[in-house]
Amino acid sequence: MKQLKYFTASWCGPCRFFKPYIIELIRDGENIEMIDIDANPEQSQKYQIMSVPTLIFEEDGEIFAKRNGAMDPSEIKALLK
């Protein structure tokens, strides 16, 4: 099963801009986990997050794509299909 791990932070301007698109994708049924890097430093270390927003796409627990910065929602949907 494909999943997106969306790493974000409350103080991040681009994250605040992009967050409504992520929420819309979640409402559309996409398998997305939002992870605040300040509240979950262990996850940030595990995935070696150096900047936010960062999107990590996994399939069956294996990373198949990693993107820094915002993405077009249609690209996200395509990667999750």
Helix, strand, coil content of the chain in percent (nearest 5): 35, 30, 35
Are 2 and 79 in contact by the 8 Å Cβ rule? The answer is: yes
Check 15, 25, 56, 71 and give the catalytic one. 15
* 81 in active site: no
Going by C-alpha positions, the residue among 5, 47, 54, 46 that lies closest to residue 26 is: 5
Q: Indicate which residue of 4, 5, 8, 12 is catalytic.
A: 12
Active site residue 39: no
HSE, side-chain direction, 13 A CA sphere, residue 34: 16
- Which residues are marked as active site? 12, 15
